[in-house]
C-alpha cells in the first residue's frame, strides 16, 4: 500500500533476489496479481533474503506495505512498516510486521471510507470502504505465531495487503460507477502507459 508523496528515485532494473536490491513491482494487469497465493513453507531456502528484499523494495518506493504477489511471487507473505503514517494514525507508529500465512477475522462489520493507493497501481488513489477492527493471526520471520486485535488505519493496511494474497486489488472494492469513471486510467496502467518512478514489471503484451 502506498500513501506517501512520491520522491525522486533512481530507476534500476534488477530481477534477482538480493537483500540489498530493489525488486520490480508488478503492475495492475499482470496475471500474478490475480492468483490466489500459496502458503509459505518456513523452511524454504532464501525466505529471509526474499523478506529483506521486499522491505528494501517497499522502503525505496515509499510504501507502507508490500505483498509477495506484487514482486511476482505468488506466496502468502506480506511486509508492513506503517511508521511513516504514525503521526496521522497513532496505531501505526512503530508497527513493522512480517506476516507469513496471515489470517484475518472481522471483529466489527462497520465500514469506514478512506483513501488508499497501491504500488501496483501508480498514480491512482481511491476511497475504499473497509472494516477497521480485526483479529490478525500470523507467523513472523522467526517462526513465532502471533494473534492480535488490530484497529484503525493499521487494520486497513493489513486488509489491503492480505487482499493481494487472494488475487484482489483495492479497486475491486470501489463502486461500479466509480470504476467506470477510472476505467481509462486502469487501462493505461495495464497497458504500460502509466509507469511508476520505481522498478516495475508491466503485464505481458497480448498476442494478436
Ligand atoms: Zn497494494
* Residue 129 within any structural domain of the chain: yes
Active site residues: 161
The model's pTM: 0.90
DSSP string, the chain: -B-SPP---------S--TTSPPPEEPTT-GGGGSPPBPPPTT-TTHHHHHHHHHHHHHHTTBSEEEGGGGT--BSEEEEE-GGGTTT-GGGTT-EEEEEEEEEEES---EEEEEEEETTEEEEEEEEEEESEEEEEEE-TTS-EEEEEEEHHHHHHHHHHHHHHTT--GGGGS-HHHHHHTHHHHHHHHTTSS--SS-EEPPPPPP-
Residue 103 — pLDDT band, cuts 50, 70, 90?
very high
pLDDT digits (tens, 9 = 90+) for 128-147: 999 999 999 999 999 999 99
What average pLDDT does the structure give for the chain?
91
Residue 43 Cα to ligand 1 midpoint, Å, equals: 26
Residue 125 has pLDDT above 60, yes or no: yes
pLDDT of residue 6: 39
* Residue 179 within any structural domain of the chain: yes
* Residue 60 within any structural domain of the chain: yes
* Residue 185 within any structural domain of the chain: yes
Residue 22 — pLDDT band, cuts 50, 70, 90?
confident
Domain that holds residue 177: 25-201
* Residue 18 within any structural domain of the chain: no
* Residue 147 within any structural domain of the chain: yes
Residue 168 Cα to ligand 1 midpoint, Å, equals: 9
pLDDT digits (tens, 9 = 90+) for 162-174: 999 999 999 999 9
pLDDT of residue 64: 97
Residue 189 has pLDDT above 50, yes or no: yes
Q: What is the mean pLDDT of residues 187-205?
A: 93
CATH of the domain at 140: 3.90.45.10
Domain count, the chain: 1
Residue 45 Cα to ligand 1 midpoint, Å, equals: 26
pLDDT digits (tens, 9 = 90+) for 42-81: 999 999 999 999 999 999 999 999 999 999 999 999 999 9
CA 199 – CA 54 distance, rounded (Å): 13
Residue 115 Cα to ligand 1 midpoint, Å, equals: 12
* Residue 12 within any structural domain of the chain: no
Paired strand residues for 99: 78
Residue 24 Cα to ligand 1 midpoint, Å, equals: 14
Amino acid at each position: 500500500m502506498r500513501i506517501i508523496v512520491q520522491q525522486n528515485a533512481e530507476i534500476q532494473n534488477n530481477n534477482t533476489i538480493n537483500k540489498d536490491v530493489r525488486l520490480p513491482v508488478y503492475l495492475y494487469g499482470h496475471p500474478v496479481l490475480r492468483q490466489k497465493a500459496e502458503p509459505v513453507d518456513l523452511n524454504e531456502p532464501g525466505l529471509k533474503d526474499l523478506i529483506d528484499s521486499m522491505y528494501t523494495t517497499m522502503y525505496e518506493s515509499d510504501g507502507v506495505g508490500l505483498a509477495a504477489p506484487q514482486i511476482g511471487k505468488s506466496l502468502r507473505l506480506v511486509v508492513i512498516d506503517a511508521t511513516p503514517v504514525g503521526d496521522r494514525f497513532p496505531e501505526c507508529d512503530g508497527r513493522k510486521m512480517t506476516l507469513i500465512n496471515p489470517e484475518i477475522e472481522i471483529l466489527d462489520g462497520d465500514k469506514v471510507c478512506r483513501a488508499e493507493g497501491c504500488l501496483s497501481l501508480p498514480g491512482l488513489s481511491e476511497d475504499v470502504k473497509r472494516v477497521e477492527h480485526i483479529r490478525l493471526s500470523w507467523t513472523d520471520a522467526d517462526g513465532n505465531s502471533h494473534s492480535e486485535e488490530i484497529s484503525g488505519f493499521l487494520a486497513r493496511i493489513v486488509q489491503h495487503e492480505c487482499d493481494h494474497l487472494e488475487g484482489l486489488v483495492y479497486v475491486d472494492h470501489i463502486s461500479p460507477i466509480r470504476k467506470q469513471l477510472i476505467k481509462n486510467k486502469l487501462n493505461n496502467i495495464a497497458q504500460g502507459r502509466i509507469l511508476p518512478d520505481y522498478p516495475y514489471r508491466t503485464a505481458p503484451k497480448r498476442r494478436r
